[in-house]
A and B are shown apart, each in its own frame.
Chain A
Amino acid sequence: MTLLYTEVEEELRAAVRGLLADRCPPAAVLKRAESDPYDLGLWKTLAGEIGVAGLLIPEEHGGAGASASEVAVVLEELGRGVAPVPFFTSSVLATRALIQAGAGDLLERLADGSATAALVVSFAASSYQPLRGGSVRVADGGERLSGTVTGVAGADVADLLLVPVDGGLYAVQGAEVRVVPSLDLTRPVATVTLDDAAATRLGDVDLAQVLLFGAGLLASEQYGVAQWCLDTTVAYVKERHQFARPVGSFQAIKHRLADLWLDVVRAKAAARNAAAEASEASEASAAVSAAVAQAWNAGVAVRVAEEALQLHGGIGMTWEHPLHLYLKRAKASEIALGTPGDHREALASLADVPGPEGGQQ
C-alpha cells in the first residue's frame, strides 16, 4: 500500500485538470450556478472521453476496473474546481450500490456515461445512521415504493433513481424530484417523493457500507477544496498590498497560512490512506481510515475556506468572487455522509477509546 500517487494517477489528474481549466474555470461555474448548475456537456466529455464514469466498474461490465485511489484523484480535481458534474453521486455512490446489487446491465449503461444514476438517500445520512432523512416502504409484494427522502444529491440530473429499502436496491419509475434552494450551489439537493412508484428489485445492498465507502472518498474531494482555497489565498496575499507591503509579508498572516498548510498536508495523507484502504484493506481497517479522513478533512476544508474568505478581506465577501462556492461546498460536505463529530464518535469504539458510559459496565 502506498500513500503516494502513481504515474497512472498523475496522468489521470492532468487530463481532468486540463479539461476543467479549459471548460469550467471557477468563474464559469459561478455564472451558471443559479440557473442551471450542472454542466452536462462537460460531464459527457469527462465521463465518456476521459472515462471517469466507468472507473469503479469492473471490466466485464464495460468499466475500467480501477482502484478507489484513482477515483480519489478525480475527486481531488473536481473538488479543486467545485466542478458541477455528478461524478460523486453517480460514479461513486450509485455505482458502488449497483456493484453490490450485481446489476451488470445498468452498470454497462453507466460505464460509458450514456446514463447517470443517483442513490435516493439523504446526503445527510451516514453509515452510522443510513436512514436519516428517508421514509420509504415497500408495497405490492415488492413492486411498488412509497415515501419521501429529503436532501438527495444528484437526483435532478439522474436518468436512473436507485432506492435502497430493507436491504434491497430498487430501480424506480415516476418519482417526483423537487430541487430545493441548497446551501451548496454546485451540488444542490432535492426532495424525492415516491407515491406508489413502480419499482424493480435489482439485488441486495449494504447501505451502511456504501455510505462508508463514499465517506472515505469524499475526503479526497474535501482535500481538493481545501487545496484550492489555500493556493488561491497564498497567491492573493502575495499580490494584495496594504501599508505599502504585500499583506502576505506580515507575520500574523504568514503564521496562519503556515498552520493551514500543515492542516492541508495532513488532509492529503488522510485522504490517500482512506482511498488505499477502501480498495485493499479489511472492512474494520477501512472503517477506521474513512472515519479518520472524514473527521479531519471535513473540518479542514471548512477551516481553510473560512480563513480564505477572511484573508481575502472585502472581495471574499462578494458574490462576484468564486470563493463562496468553495465555502458552501465545504460546509455542506461537512454534513454529508456524517459530520466530523459522528465520525469521532464512531472512532470511540473503532479505536477502543470508550466514553464514560463504557467505564461503568
Chain B
Amino acid sequence: MVQANPGQGASQAKVQFGYHRHGDQDRIAPAEHPVVVVGAGPVGLSFAIDLAQRGHAVVVLDDADRIGEGSRAICFSKRSLDYWDRLGVGDRMVDKGVVWNVGRIFHGPSELYQFNLLPEPGHKRPAFINLQQFYAEAYLVDRVTQLPDISLRWRNKVIALEQRNDRAVLTIETPDGPYLLSAQYVIACDGARSSLRQMVGAGFSGKVFEDQFLIADVKMTAKFPTERWFWFDPPFHAGRSALLHRQPDDVWRIDLQLTPDCDPQVERKPENVRPRIARMLGHDEFEFEWISLYKFQCRRMERFIHGRVIFAGDSAHQVSPFGARGANSGLEDAENLSWKLDRVLRGTSPSGLLETYHIERSAAADENIRESTRSTDFMAPVSAQEARLRKAVLSLAKETEFGKRMVNGGRLSVPSIYETPLSTADTDTWRGGPCPGTSMLDAPLKAADGRHLHLTDAFNAQGRRFTLLSFANGEAIDAPDDVSVISIGGDGFADAEAFAGKRYDAEPGTSYLLRPDGYVAARFRHSKRADIAAAVARASGRN
C-alpha cells in the first residue's frame, strides 16, 4: 500500500514510484492496446479505474515517477465523492478529508453573510471535502494496483503521436530508451501544459487575469472552524481579497490577492510571505508547506476530440480556482467519457456517442469558465467603474438580501446540466425533480432486511449501467433486459425518510431512467417498456 508522507516540506515528493521495464518495450512492432491514458493525475487515474471496472484493459503513462508536489486541488465536491464511491475509493477520501458545507464572506472587519451548500439532510456525501491532491492520487494509485487490467507505467513520456484511421501510435521515451504503443483511443489527461495538445496542433486560448495571487499551504494548530472563509478588503490585507481553508494534517490553504505589478520572485520568498500571513492569523506560529504565485487563466480547447485522441481535465479546459471547478470538472469529464467509451469499445453504441462527450463537457467547460471568470473579475475589478459597482454591492450586502446574493467570492462547483441529444424531453407534467440532463439526487433508503443505505449506494450496486429508478404502484416493472431496476416502495426499498419521493416529485408509477454516469436520461409518470427502450436507444446514441 502506498503511504503518503505529509509534512515533509514543499521540495520533497510525497509518494515515490519506481520505473519498471514492461514487455511492450521489447517488441519490434508496437503493442496494440484498446486504450492508453496519458497522465496519472486524479482525472487519468479515475478514468482508468472506471474503464477497468467496466472490463477493459487500460495502459496509463506518466512522465514523472512521483506525486505530491505543488499546492494543487484541495476541494472535492459531492459529485466527485459519489463518483469515487463508484470507483471504490470514496470512503478513504472522506475518512482522510475534512468535511465542510458552510462558507462565510467577510468585508473589512465584519461578516457579511454565510452560506450552507448542503442545508438538507439525507445525502450520503457532504457538499465538499478538503483533501490534498497528493492523498487523492495516492488512494487512486492504491486502487489501480488492485485492478490487474490497468498497467501503470511511470517515467513513460510521450514524445510523438501519429494518428491513423483506426488508431494512434505513440512514441514513448523511458530510462531504457524509446518504444512504440498503438492504441484505439488515447485519453489525454496530461494537464494544463498538455504535450498531447501540442502534438495534435490544437490551440488553448482564453483570458489571463492580471492580478497575481499568492497561494500558501501553512501548517499550524488553529481553532478556526472547518468552513471556507473569504474576505474582501480585510484589515490584515487592505484593498485585496483573502481566502482561508482547512485541509487535513493541520494544514491550511491561504490565498492572498496581490497587485498585478508585484515581482513574483520577491513576493514568493518566505521572508516576505511570512509577515503577510502573520498579520492574517495574528500570530507567527506556523510552518510553510508550500508557497507559489499564480496568474489565473480561463481557457479551453475548441474541440475535445482530435481523431483518436480525446482530451479530459486541465488539458482540455482551465479555470481560476475560486469555485473548485478544476479537478471536479475533470472528474466529471472522466465519468462522462468512460461509460461512452465502454459502449463504443464493446460495439453496443456507435462511435458517434463519443461526440456527445465533446458536446456535454465543452458546454460544461464554458459554464465553469463563465462562473470562475465572474468570480475572479469581482475580486479583481478591471476598471474604476467596476470597482465602484463592486463597492456598491459590498455595502448594499450589509443591509439587503439581494446585495448578499450579488457578492461573488466564488460560486462553488455544482454538477452541470446538459442540453444534450441523449436526453428524451419530458412529455408528462412535473412540479419538480431532476429534469433530463440533470444529475441524480441522493436520498436515504431502507432495504427489506432493515439495512440503511443511500440511493447512490443502490445505483452503484447495480453495476453502473442504465438503471430505471421506479416508484412502485403495485404493478410489475416491465424494463428492457439491458436496464437495471431500483424499486422504491412496495417490495423494493422503503423511502424511510420520505426524501426520495419528494426529491423526485414521485407519484405511484413514476420512473426515472438514469444513465451509467447517474444523469437523468428520461422520466415518465407511467413507464411503458417501449418508451424506456426508446429512451435507452437515444441515450446510448443508437437512435
Query: Does A pair with B?
Result: no
- Report which A residues bind B (CB closer than 8 A): none
